[in-house]
Structure 1
Amino acid sequence: MSPTSSSDEVPLPVPYMGFEFDSAQRLPLLLCLDTSSSLSSHGAIGSLNSALASWATSLTEDMALSAAVDVAVITFGGSDGITVWQGPVPLGPTAPEWPHSPFVPAHEFKPPTLRAHGVTLLDRALRLAMEVVTDYKAGLRAEGLTYYRPQICVVTDGSPSDERGSFSYAYRELLPELRKAEEERRFRLFAVGVGERRPGAEGVLKELAPHYHAWLDGFPFAELLTAMSHSAKATQGGAAEAEFQEIFARLKRRRGGGQVPA
């Protein structure tokens, strides 16, 4: 995490400036997206950008989600390796601390236009995602605001790598903390693979998210984001764990075609 902007820089927008909260609980939803060079083929990055744009529109049109969901995006790929986004604005490889934040209220969320290049620093992106969520929850508490259990959705079509592009097991350093976070219900983690299955890649997702992992054929980003919306609604409704498992099971069964059921 990095400090807030210095006085000679344009200050970042503060979440909810002039926004009426009423008594709505906040629901942080962080997308951790692979934008490495592996997404440059088969129109994958274009499909992701299109799906993000449609999803952003659907959030604003859904009164319940628009009122409660806060969206942040972290990408791994590109020249910086990691990029934190506040809506369409790239903040660089680190995230500002509260009261500034990558999270944007759903009714204001405009997705970035993503490009595919670089390597797959999944472990660093996920570690940063966890830090961003932790900082945001602390900031909400400091403001006297309540929140639902956050969602982190990791989406990748490549194997985790180091700076040279070689396969890396560095993500395993996160596993003890992820298991502890799961036990303490700090957030719910979804790990989803898309595109061509590489040897060992599906096993990585299973290690990261034992209960919510899947490898989907093709690049069904629209259906995946729809599933995240369904999960957010289930969270708002106080659903039992079985309902989240069913939402994810339906996504896994679709395997590249069709729509996620409402």
Structure 2
Amino acid sequence: MFAHTGPDAASQSTPYTGFEFDSAQRLPLLLCLDTSESLRDNGAIDALNTALASWQHSLINDTVLGAAVDVALITFGGPGNITVWQSDVPLGRTAPRWPHSPFVPAHEFRPPRLRAEGVTLLHQALRLAMEVVADYKAGLRTSGMTHHRPQICVVTDGYPSDEEGAFSDAYRELLPNLRRAELERRFRLFAVGVGEPHKRAEAVLRALAPEFHAWLDGFPFEEVLKVMSHSAEAAQNGAAEAEFHEIFSRLKNRRGGGQVPA
């Protein structure tokens, strides 16, 4: 799924430059976002764009997260169905290899203006997300840098589909690797559903992320991103696993009155 680094790849993305301003441990945070056609309904895609813009400002204003967190974005939906982004620059369906990583320091992250179209190739996007994170970690090690456990956050409003939009169980191919990744602490995966619940889709999220899955009423994208920031902060502080569960439980329980802290 990766493109080889060369003249073409270099012209499409700029090298990762986090080490130029901060030698602290890096904390990779990859957002894997559903932008399929169904998000045209109920103002969902507008809510997502608003949330990303708000989150960008919060990262800039948070000197701790802004200095140590690196952000990458993969969307599934829209032209080509899967798009890798380096900040607001679309790199296409593939990701260049280090040092031309999709990751950018959080204070440099500029969210693209996303459109809702296409189908829900969740399994392909998640597979690519895992590859991007693995390449990023290897690149940091090559550069003599260290990192906290990466975070991958998948957000969707429906079930995974094939190219024609029919339900696909291809996500099951990822489960053995995901279970190994959990045991080896390669990354922490959050899987969040939004909008009208789908039993079939909820079961998919539960299978992908047994520890951190939820289905939320409405489209509370700002709350989801806020939880990602709190989780990143906890990781930087060396929090025990129980603290990540506590942070995520506030999001899961929001319908019962629970609130994500400001």
TM-score range, shorter chain: over 0.9
1:34-53, CA deviations, whole angstroms, 9 ceiling, x for partnerless residues? 00011011000000000000
Is residue 242 of structure 1 aligned with residue 242 of structure 2?
Answer: yes
Is residue 14 of structure 1 aligned with residue 12 of structure 2?
Answer: no
2:184 maps to what in 1?
Answer: 184
- Matched position secondary structure for 2:114: coil
Is residue 142 of structure 1 aligned with residue 142 of structure 2?
Answer: yes
Offset of residue 152 of structure 1: 0.1
Offset of residue 8 of structure 1: 9.8
- In 1, are the aligned partners of 2:35 and 2:78 still within 8 Å (CA)? yes
1:86 maps to what in 2?
Answer: 86
2:217 maps to what in 1?
Answer: 217
Offset of residue 13 of structure 1: 1.0
Instruction: Mark the runs of 5 or more structure 1 residues left unpaired by the alignment.
Output: none
- Matched position secondary structure for 1:41: helix
User: 2:59, 2:255 → 1: CA distance?
Assistant: 24
Q: Which residue identity is paired with 1:151? A: Q
Offset of residue 17 of structure 1: 7.1
**CA 1:107–1:2 in structure 2 vs 1: closer, same or farther (change >3 Å)?**
same
Instruction: Mark the runs of 5 or more structure 2 residues left unpaired by the alignment.
Output: none
TM-score scaled to structure 2, two decimals? Answer: 0.96
Equivalent runs, 1:4-83 vs 2, <5 Å: 4-6=5-7, 10=11, 12-16=13-17, 19-21=20-22, 23-83=23-83
Q: Which residue identity is paired with 2:89? A: V
**CA 1:8–1:53 in structure 2 vs 1: closer, same or farther (change >3 Å)?**
closer
Give the CA RMSD over aligned residues.
Answer: 1.6
Offset of residue 78 of structure 1: 1.5
TM-score scaled to structure 1, two decimals? Answer: 0.96
User: 2:137, 2:117 → 1: CA distance?
Assistant: 32
Percent identity for Structure 1 against Structure 2: 70
Offset of residue 109 of structure 1: 0.5
Offset of residue 209 of structure 1: 0.2
2:193 maps to what in 1?
Answer: 193
**CA 1:203–1:60 in structure 2 vs 1: closer, same or farther (change >3 Å)?**
same
Higher helix content, 1 or 2: 2
- In 2, are the aligned partners of 1:82 and 1:93 still within 8 Å (CA)? yes
1:205 maps to what in 2?
Answer: 205
